[in-house]
A and B are shown apart, each in its own frame.
Chain A
Amino acid sequence: MKVLYPLLMVVILALIGLLGVWVVPGSTVVFAVVLPYAAIAILIVGFIYRVVNWAKSPVPFRITTTCGQQKSLPWIKSNPIESPHNNLGVIGRMALEVLFFRSLFRNTSTELKGGRLIFAEEKFLWLAGLAFHWSLLAIFVRHYRLFTEPVPSFVTLLQAIDGFLQIGIPVLYMSSAIVVVAGLYLLYRRIAFAKIAYISLPSDYFALFLILGIATTGILMRHFYRVDVVGVKELAMGLVSFNPVIPQGIGPLFFCHLFLVTSLLAYFPFSKLMHLGGIFLSPTRNLANNNRMRRHVNPWNYPVNVHTYQEWEEEFKDKLLAAGYTLDEDTPERKDVLVRG
């Protein structure tokens, strides 16, 4: 059920895209213009709303997770990335995390064999995750060629690199192949690995099916059921210049692809895909381990009830005196200090 429902959902979405324009006469404008605009609006507003909403909650404590030696005595070598003590280190740590999935790279598998726990390197999740995300980025950037005229040089350069294997006509982009292979692996482990299957939610499958659907329709369009690229570019240019033209005769597969992309964009801000924005805000990773060097301020710090020295001395007075303690002569205004917010 957890797998079938989301699959069914994506199939339905694909069918709507594939047949919508054809079944409902005159709906081309809806699928080609209205819905894409709406989805992008939802994405932008939703994304900003989510990030602002997170940011509205303060970070009361500096709860860095340290994965390396702290900066302490000058002759002890500290680890400026895994236990950063300043912002530069934090930027380094975050860059490694965002660009290369540092923490995931640490992954091991744990197995119990003959009464022993065996730890083994387990890099496939890291590899598949990294390949998947970098490919998505490459594909995203490649699509700029449809939205720009002249096409910027970095896009053509990327295309050249991405297609350097020169397989097929038109050339097969590596990123297209990788995104499908990596995506299928991620799907495979969600279905075949008992533990991962157990923790997976329908939404986890939905996101994967949706992205795989987009990738598949994209590849089909490019290599098997060619669509009118000139018409696609006209539409894309029209959309970005806010002067949309309704294209004619592009082919139903394109609308299927477009509708799945539209769905993804609109779904994005409501989903776990928001980890794209969230990763930058994670307080265990984006704060320096300099707690004892620099005071961190909690904006909602409030006074609390403390058992003061005076109360304690009063309660144990007889025992204190019998045990030879001297009572405190001067009584500074303790309460002030203790309840300071």
Chain B
Amino acid sequence: MSDKLPKPAELLKIDYKPPAKSWEDPTIDFEKKKGTYCYSAAPKNLKYLGLPNPREWQPYEKDWKLPPNWKEIILEGMKDRLSKFRSFKLFMDICVRCGACADKCHFFAGSGDPKNMPVLRAELLRSVYRRYFTTSGKLLGRLAGARDLTEDVLKEWFYYFYQCTECRRCSIYCPYGIDTAEITMMARELMTLVGVNINWVLEPVANCHRTGNHLGIQPHAFRDNVEFAAGDLADITGITVETPINKKGAEVLFIVPSADYFGSPHYYGFLGYLALLHEVGLDYTFSAYASEGGNFGIFTSHEMMKRLNAKIYAEAKRLKVKWILGGECGHMWRVIHQYMDTMNGPADFLEEPVSPITGTKFENAKSTKMVHISEFTADLIKNGKLKLDPSRNDHWKITYHDSCNIARGLGLFEEPRYIIKNVANYFYEMPENTIRERTFCCGSGSGLGTDENMEMRLRGGFPRANAVKHVHERYGVNFLACMCAIDKATLTPLMEYWVPEVQVGAVHELVGNALVMKGESERKTDLRGQPLIKREKEAEASV
């Protein structure tokens, strides 16, 4: 893969001028476009989940082996969803094609492909909607912007709706709040009805359904991983922390994305959690059954999202905890914040979350009963419950990347910034058009973070990388902090490609570095095992 990747300068030869040909004629040459799409879902995953039309196929093959009545299935599915989702029906009808969204998509900025303009991405679906569900479309056809649903149209859907990361950046610029994420979610649901899925989404879903986490880690390995992390932490801090799993009657159930205990650089943030929760003495437990905060179900269908999400409340009930704490993750938090209570609540068996350390009531989580770790930690710092030595992060010049879902789904902007400013001395914001609600996606969200899609990921991640490069050149930024598991996994190769001097890491990695633990041995390294600047300086001075 990597030897086929164009160099950055080549990749940036982007032509934003739309072609002369109308967009209404679909043709995707999948053979030529390798590197810009994901491969199909393996039949075993569809079978395991009970999804329709499991079979061997690939997008670059001519025959997609669709069921003979695929068209009816999709149109029936559209009809059903139009009656269930006001968002869908409205967003099909009220766009005026003002074009405000056109240059807001990271995939458009990085590729120049006009169908990555959010308005056109939506028109791919809208044109079919008009043809079959509106009078003018039925009568006037193309003149009314209507298109027949053909196999080529379906293939185009596949290409472009798996080239949208559901980041919602375009929607904040839309005068009607039309949300492309919502449209993409509908399109993916429709494609799922006829077995047109990608493996990078459905394998994690199948794993999560079975083992409890996306990576398919079984309970014995889960325990090994968590205990291994405690061992690493002991090596660095000299303190052995407890890592309770499936502990009944604990006060808090702690749910993290599985990458936190399995992937790098997530892992250093996981060490940070362990140190923090030990230090404040929180009575908590992990669960081996609900060992995943992330939810690739949301990238498949609402039903699949609900199936996976149900485990969190079920496990909280079984373990008789009072409330739930959630780790750093993006789409996980969109699901928890905007869907969980509605889908699988009410959580009347839990209590309104109160921090046992500060006594703070988390009023904003009183119904869902799940608190974001950054809310929890910010409250600890504000109440002076943590002893912090920010100079232990002096080797990092930090910038913060707002993850899409955290930004535009929760509006959680200040908590992480407050934490970073308290645990580190060097913090620099990226340009204002690229942070907070205007933040740019990593380019690999919503299940697109697979290697065969690398060229598109690098293109989509370009606007984010470009802003990082700016603060790197200006302030010497070398650490990109974020609170999203997909970010940590995919910003890492993105930085390697565009700004190789910058490392990616968790906010709670910085917390763990700065946290002065009672009885700890003198820290020689940070959580990554890198020597601390202060130590180096002292060593120099003593020579």
Tell whether A67 pairs with B337 under 8 Å between CB atoms, given A195-B114, A319-B219, A337-B313: no
Q: Is B357 an interface residue (CB 8 A)?
A: no
CA distance A63 to B462 in the complex (A): 27
Contacts between chains A and B (CB distance < 8 A), count: 312
Contact A282 B173 (CB under 8 A): no
> Considering the complex, which residues of chain A in the window 316-341 have a beta carbon less than 8 Å from any beta carbon of chain B?
316, 319-320, 322-326, 328, 332, 334, 337-338, 340
Tell whether A279 pairs with B94 under 8 Å between CB atoms, given A291-B337, A325-B288: yes
Contact B136 A270 (CB under 8 A): yes
Contact A295 B342 (CB under 8 A): yes
Residues of chain B within 8 A of A65, CB atoms compared: 168, 171-172, 177, 179, 408-409
Residues of chain B within 8 A of A296, CB atoms compared: 341-342
Q: Is A154 an interface residue (CB 8 A)?
A: no
With both beta carbons as reference points, the residue of chain B lying nearest to A75 in the complex is identified as B382
Contact B174 A289 (CB under 8 A): no
> Considering the complex, which residues of chain A in the window 37-70 have a beta carbon less than 8 Å from any beta carbon of chain B?
50, 53-70
Contact B218 A284 (CB under 8 A): no
Contact B364 A293 (CB under 8 A): yes
Q: Is A24 an interface residue (CB 8 A)?
A: no
CA distance A108 to B434 in the complex (A): 11
> Considering the complex, which residues of chain A in the window 256-276 have a beta carbon less than 8 Å from any beta carbon of chain B?
270, 272, 274-275
Contact B367 A196 (CB under 8 A): no
Which of B123, B174, B315, B375 is A199 in contact with, Cβ under 8 Å? B123
Q: Is A87 an interface residue (CB 8 A)?
A: no
Residues of chain B within 8 A of A195, CB atoms compared: 16, 18, 99, 102-103, 114, 117
Residues of chain B within 8 A of A304, CB atoms compared: 303, 306-307, 310
Contact A125 B437 (CB under 8 A): no
Looking at A99-107, A157-165, A215-223, the stretch in contact with chain B turns out to be A99-107
Contact B179 A284 (CB under 8 A): yes
Q: Is B293 an interface residue (CB 8 A)?
A: no
Q: Is A166 an interface residue (CB 8 A)?
A: no
CA distance A110 to B95 in the complex (A): 21
Q: Is B346 an interface residue (CB 8 A)?
A: yes
Contact A76 B415 (CB under 8 A): yes
Contact B342 A104 (CB under 8 A): no
With both beta carbons as reference points, the residue of chain A lying nearest to B146 in the complex is identified as A201
Give the A interface residue count (CB, 8 A). Answer: 106
Contact B174 A68 (CB under 8 A): no
Q: Is A175 an interface residue (CB 8 A)?
A: no
Contact B341 A292 (CB under 8 A): yes
Q: Is B242 an interface residue (CB 8 A)?
A: no
Q: Is B539 an interface residue (CB 8 A)?
A: no
Contact A298 B412 (CB under 8 A): no
With both beta carbons as reference points, the residue of chain A lying nearest to B19 in the complex is identified as A198
CA distance A129 to B174 in the complex (A): 13
Per-residue CB contact flags for chain A residues 280-293 toward chain B (1 = under 8 Å, else 0) read 01111100011111
7 CB-based A-B contacts, threshold 8 Å: A66-B410, A73-B382, A109-B103, A198-B18, A202-B144, A305-B50, A307-B311
Q: Is A194 an interface residue (CB 8 A)?
A: yes
CA distance A200 to B99 in the complex (A): 9
Residues of chain B within 8 A of A274, CB atoms compared: 93-94
Q: Is A28 an interface residue (CB 8 A)?
A: no
Seed contacts A203-B136, A292-B337, A307-B311; 9 additional CB < 8 Å A-B pairs: A58-B85, A73-B415, A101-B175, A103-B175, A275-B176, A283-B177, A284-B177, A307-B210, A325-B288
